[in-house]
Homo-oligomer: A and B are copies of this chain.
Amino acid sequence: MASTDPQESVQELSPLPKVLVPKIPPSFCIIGEEPFTSTKFQYLKAYESPLPLDQFLATHAHSVKAILSTASAPVTADLLQLLPAVRLVVTTSAGLNQIDLPECRRRGIAVANVATVYSADVADLAVGLLIDVLRKISASNRYVKQGNWPTRGDYPLGSKLGGKRVGIVGLGNIGYEVAKRLEAFGCCISYNSRKKKPYVSYPFYENVCELAANCDALIICCGLTDQTRHLINKEVLSALGKKGVIVNIGRGPIIDEKEMVRFLMEGKIAGAGLDVFENEPDVAKEFFALDNVVLSPHCAVFTPESVKDLSELVVGNLEAFFSNKPLLSEYVDE
């Protein structure tokens, strides 16, 4: 189908291989688009076209060789159906849950993930949230800034990090970075994962409930899958207990949020540090009044420094692909 838009025609005529960008990646907004560009390929930015998406896709159906996917731009079987020439999906999101991986595999489409680009930032925020909840940093900051210290005296003390038994739920790159940091604080690490990792000596719990029962804090570091949705349910929260703290930097739906709200409000767990929520950006209002809950607007993965690293990885993957070289960070399903 020939394009009716002059700009579309120019894009179509360029000899460079085409990469579809369905929605503008947040990373383009953070450090600009320039670090993501290359002389070896060309972006087809659906979000800049006046055409409706399906028409835009139809126009470029046979020229799109790769897709740059973001968390909010799902790569579905329907989308892939429309783009028969696609052989690569590169994602800028830490999770892959927006990509239909079985369909990619079926069609022989490779997937390049963000590798460890975000791991350090996510781990830093996870540790920051844990320290904040245990040592009451945000809450006492508010207390001092409201002028309460001279009139109402000392703020209630927090709790020590050293010796705390911290359970990592999902010991991938991010979980491992969290564990490494918390070891420096004298925390005792154990973990739950799909399978026992042969290369780590931390105690492994096959059952997340058992992990929770043996921990003072849980840090949710796994991805969202059908298996992990509401993995942290009433039973796990009960096992964690009223002195237990939970930190979530994975994905909101991994925790049954309604149950967690109830546990927090009834003092059945001690606190929470949350970067992700079931229904972002709408956060359960019950959290707002709880001093033992620290909320972060899903920003764990991002700093300008890591987005710069991401741009190099994205460009590197696309250039490698179009030069028939191995991808820098090919996702391989275990």
Interface residues of A (CB under 8 A from B): 26, 30, 120-121, 124-125, 127-129, 131-132, 135, 137-138, 140-147, 149-150, 153-155, 157-163, 180-181, 183-186, 280-283, 285, 287-288, 294-297, 299, 302-306
Query: Complex Cα distance A271/B122, Å?
Result: 21
Across the two chains, which residue of chain B brings its CB closest to A182? B184
CB pair B283 A149 closer than 8 Å? yes
Query: Complex Cα distance A216/B93, Å?
Result: 28
Query: Complex Cα distance A282/B149, Å?
Result: 8
Give the secondary structure class of A's interface.
helix
Most B CB contacts (10 A, CB to CB) among A138, A180, A282 go to A138
Query: Complex Cα distance A163/B121, Å?
Result: 12
CB pair A180 B184 closer than 8 Å? yes
CB pair A155 B30 closer than 8 Å? no
Query: Complex Cα distance A143/B288, Å?
Result: 10
CB pair A283 B144 closer than 8 Å? yes
Query: Complex Cα distance A140/B299, Å?
Result: 9
Query: Complex Cα distance A306/B30, Å?
Result: 42
CB pair B125 A135 closer than 8 Å? yes
* 27 residue pairs bridging A and B, Cβ less than 8 Å apart: A120-B186, A121-B162, A124-B131, A128-B135, A131-B131, A132-B132, A137-B138, A137-B296, A138-B138, A140-B296, A143-B297, A144-B295, A145-B287, A146-B288, A147-B285, A150-B281, A153-B281, A155-B297, A155-B299, A157-B302, A158-B303, A159-B305, A160-B303, A160-B304, A162-B305, A183-B184, A184-B184
A297 and B137 contact, Cβ closer than 8 Å, known pairs A124-B131, A131-B127, A159-B304: no
Query: Complex Cα distance A146/B138, Å?
Result: 14
Most B CB contacts (10 A, CB to CB) among A26, A30, A184, A294 go to A184
Across the two chains, which residue of chain B brings its CB closest to A159? B303
Query: Complex Cα distance A142/B294, Å?
Result: 9
CB pair A295 B145 closer than 8 Å? yes
| CB-defined contacts of A149 to chain B, threshold 8 Å | 280-281, 283, 297
CB pair B296 A121 closer than 8 Å? no
Across the two chains, which residue of chain B brings its CB closest to A180? B184
Query: Complex Cα distance A283/B155, Å?
Result: 15
| CB-defined contacts of A283 to chain B, threshold 8 Å | 144, 149
Q: Shortest distance in angstroms between A179's beta carbon and chain B's nearest beta carbon?
A: 10
